[in-house]
Structure 1
């Protein structure tokens, strides 16, 4: 595997190079202390992975990774950091892994195995034709090629909502009467159909840049939205989740890749009541996968990865009590101050958002832990 190492400390670079030389068939094609030079080299060279320090001058590792992944979305980035506080950002950026300094050979072996698995997985995965364009509806609606996504522009809010409703019911007939009840309940009945036809016209005009990728078929009774060579993120989600094998060391990367496809709730930025059922369905699936991953890592002693999973859950939904609880259990082994911190955060967010206290099982666990921690101090 071809790799580039980036760290502003020369001694740290040399140490990492020595550690890597012990654990496998690795070709280090570049070592850089300057992140700007490193960025140019990575973008113009054929590399499989980048080991990247987070605390860099001029351009920190998080921002550098974001820029690299925008141009090379399949690049394997491994963060090397002296702290674990960047776990959520690393996870959210689609980084493959992050390692806490000093880097140990046993930990590197696991990381290199994950790189190989991801490379093999992508080689065997579903191939998207070069002519396809992507349409994302997790969080915010965007369309285009990977690395060049943009928001759809609508002349009216009615056009936007009607399109998204047709999209939710894609490849199905949606009756005109249903659309009228949805969008024009209080309008003059004599003008309703005229407004419907005008809105559909505006949708077609907005979709013109994509030619025949979106087709709205008109029938006497209603409309059918057809997608041609469109990679829809929720279709990809449904396809992958339907073929997931049991969670094991061999399949953990499949779970990791799938959870990263979920960038936010379904149509999160759009307050449409009719989308709520689908929104909750996808969110429930994502939460189950995320908890399954965190629990699996915890059972297998990978506490950093377990914590990253639970932190990512909280990042997306700050009211998920169980995620705070699992973090408290992890931190109770070595970081007592973080146990207090997580409990205080949970207490604060529940009081502010819901006017409630943490669940009894969490409060009881915290009380028992505090008492036992005091005994150990004495």
Structure 2
């Protein structure tokens, strides 16, 4: 196991370096008073674990942890602090834990044993481990396909950062653009520190789910490793790409269509997501009409009606779904259901355009 320690205070660094060198299974130990040097040498050190002082003036421990993880995703972090145990409860951010100054050899060994256990678990599960993410209506992140174990984020900004990265579907986005979306009115230097701390929070919670190399730092910005993600957005975007083809596969479009359970990040107040809501909403309606036409064309009216009902339930303002459902009901002679559909639409519209549509729907019912 390879380890580094970073502490801007010479006495603190000397003490922990002396203790680390006493641990026989540490094959490599290096120390830094200057956090920038630790970042520059991260690839050379290739450390399994880093002992970082939190209270450093230029680059604090949380920011440094994120910067080290950018270059070495496998690295585990233990923070060192002079705060007492009651003050520590306010942080609640540690991946492995904290060590209180003055650091003791026994405490270090306990933390190292936890690292060995964690890294062993990650090696076993990382190849097949995935995150399951929903963004339509509710924004939920889970490490289980049944979405029973919902992952909680340290801050709302950490969760929103994941949403921003996911929205780019593996394509890099620059740090400046992320900062503008998360902290548009904040002074740049402070916002940059917030960004690195927030990245650390995301890496930490995802690492605890068994995934190491999740946030990727590329030449043109930051992205997430899509190999570790299964999301309703992935399926819906696949359906969008499929419906544009000359000979689309109905199964792919249908799968994506039913993944849409509501507006894009509907229950989150993400300003950057507002424009995309209309885009995905329009495609959802187009898919529904396309699928209903397809099933009607091959004589599967039950499937056609099922598609239209789902479209109308998710989007009760869909005029096309409403009018076609009314026609289907009237052709069946089910006027009661036709009027029920009409009333459901009526209670959701109140503008002039809605009044015009209501008149058209009334005419359809009268026609039959």
Give TM-score scaled by structure 1 length: 0.54
Matches within 5 A, 1:343-358: 343-351=342-350, 355-356=351-352, 358=354
**Distance in 2 of aligned mates of 1:311 and 1:170:** 30
Matches within 5 A, 1:118-197: 131-139=128-136, 140-197=139-196
Change in 2 beyond 3 A, CA 1:208/1:343: same
Aligned to 1:367: 363
Q: Deviations over 1:34-61 (max 9, x none)?
A: xxxxxxxxxxxxxxxxxxxxxxxxxxxx
Q: Is the radius of gyration larger for structure 1 or structure 2?
A: 2
Change in 2 beyond 3 A, CA 1:215/1:302: closer
Aligned to 1:290: 288
Q: Do residues 266 (structure 1) and 279 (structure 2) align? A: no
**Distance in 2 of aligned mates of 1:344 and 1:264:** 21
Matches within 5 A, 1:92-131: 131=128
Does the Cα contact within 8 Å between 1:180 and 1:196 map onto a contact in 2? yes
Q: How many residues align?
A: 239
Unaligned regions of 5+ residues in structure 2, if any? Answer: 1-125
Give 1:206 deviation, angstroms: 1.6
Aligned to 2:77: none
Q: Deviations over 1:143-162 (max 9, x none)?
A: 32323553331111111112
Change in 2 beyond 3 A, CA 1:230/1:294: same
Change in 2 beyond 3 A, CA 1:270/1:150: farther
Q: Deviations over 1:291-327 (max 9, x none)?
A: 1222333445444332222211111111112211111
**Distance in 1 of aligned mates of 2:316 and 2:291:** 18
**Distance in 2 of aligned mates of 1:361 and 1:240:** 29
Q: Deviations over 1:125-177 (max 9, x none)?
A: xxxx9814243233223232323553331111111112221222354443332
Give 1:350 deviation, angstroms: 0.5
Instruction: Give the secondary structure class of the aligned counterpart of 2:266.
Output: coil
- Alignment RMSD (CA, Å): 3.3
Q: Deviations over 1:169-226 (max 9, x none)?
A: 3544433322332222333455333222222222222212234455324479853433
Aligned to 2:321: 323
- Aligned match of 2:305 in 291, 304, 307? 307
